């Protein structure tokens, strides 16, 4: 697995840079949208985030120039090998943890489990936001995993109960060793 390769391994490095670059771009996009909605397009904060987004866009273009578009696409389709932690340095609010799943950025929050489902995660897509709220992905007491997304529901209806995770959300959490 790429995650366990040496950080200097070129293939691993390309995937990590692509996944981080995509998340930074998505964060900058979400920040700018929120600032514009709350403060208007000409507020100093909105200008600041517009600059940040432009910088993230330039970094992304540099990655594309270095690795090529197809390599970036393929890197984004890999299970996550990295995540971003935002904020929390002042300790006032819990940190925001972001993970890349299939080219999209999700906020991952570990939430209180239940006896039946001891490990539970709430996954909220950053940009564009999900229409039907966050996904809930969990590991049940019997060791099986479950998600409430359409992909998982479809796979289960298909009758399979394999050991591997049935959707990209569960596969991502499993790849990080969080499930
Ligand atoms: Zn899912």
Determine contact, residues 120/113, Cβ cutoff 8 Å: yes
Which DSSP state fits 102? Answer: T
Q: How far is the CA of 165 from the centre of ligand 1 (A)?
A: 9
Task: Return the higher-pLDDT residue of 81 and 8.
Answer: 81
What percent of the chain shows pLDDT beyond 70? 93
Is residue 160 very low, low, confident or very high in pLDDT (cuts 50, 70, 90)? low
Taking residues 40-53, report their average pLDDT. Answer: 96
Question: Looking at the predicted structure, is the pLDDT value of residue 168 above 90?
Answer: yes
Q: How many residues does the chain have?
A: 179
pLDDT digits (tens, 9 = 90+) for 59-93: 999 999 999 999 999 999 999 999 999 886 666 77
Q: Where are the beta strands (DSSP E) in 6-144?
A: 84-86, 96-101, 104-111, 119-125, 135-139
Q: How far is the CA of 129 from the centre of ligand 1 (A)?
A: 15
Pick from 132, 119, 122: which is nearest to 179 by CA? 119
Q: How far is the CA of 89 from the centre of ligand 1 (A)?
A: 31
Question: 1: which 2 tokens?
Answer: 């697995």
Q: How far is the CA of 167 from the centre of ligand 1 (A)?
A: 5
Q: How far is the CA of 119 from the centre of ligand 1 (A)?
A: 15
Taking residues 160-174, report their average pLDDT. Answer: 83
Q: Where are the beta strands (DSSP E) in 77-118?
A: 84-86, 96-101, 104-111
Question: What contacts 61, CB < 8 A, 6 or more positions away?
Answer: none
Question: Looking at the predicted structure, is the pLDDT value of residue 161 above 80?
Answer: no
What integer pLDDT is reported at residue 162 of this predicted model?
64
Determine contact, residues 155/138, Cβ cutoff 8 Å: no
What integer pLDDT is reported at residue 31 of this predicted model?
93
Domain coordinates of the chain in residue numbers? 2-76, 84-175
What integer pLDDT is reported at residue 24 of this predicted model?
95
Q: How far is the CA of 82 from the centre of ligand 1 (A)?
A: 19
Q: How far is the CA of 148 from the centre of ligand 1 (A)?
A: 6
pLDDT digits (tens, 9 = 90+) for 85-112: 988 666 677 789 999 999 999 999 999 9
């Amino acid at each position: 697995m790429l995650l366990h390769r040496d950080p200097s391994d070129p293939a691993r490095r390309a995937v990590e840079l692509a996944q981080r670059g995509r998340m930074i771009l998505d964060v900058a996009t979400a920040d700018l949208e929120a600032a514009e909605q709350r403060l208007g397009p000409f507020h100093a904060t909105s200008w600041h985030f517009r600059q940040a987004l432009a910088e993230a866009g330039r970094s992304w273009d540099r990655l594309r120039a270095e690795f090529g578009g197809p390599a970036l696409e393929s890197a984004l389709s890999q299970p996550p090998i990295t995540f971003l932690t935002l904020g929390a340095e002042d300790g006032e609010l819990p940190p925001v943890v972001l993970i890349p799943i299939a080219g999209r950025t999700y906020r991952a929050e570990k939430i209180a489990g239940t006896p039946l489902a001891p490990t539970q995660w709430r996954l909220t897509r950053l940009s564009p936001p999900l229409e039907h709220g966050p996904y809930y992905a969990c590991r049940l007491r019997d060791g099986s995993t479950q998600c409430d997304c359409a992909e998982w529901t479809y796979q289960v209806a298909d009758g399979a109960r394999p050991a591997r995770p049935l959707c990209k959300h569960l596969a991502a959490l499993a790849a990080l060793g969080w499930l």
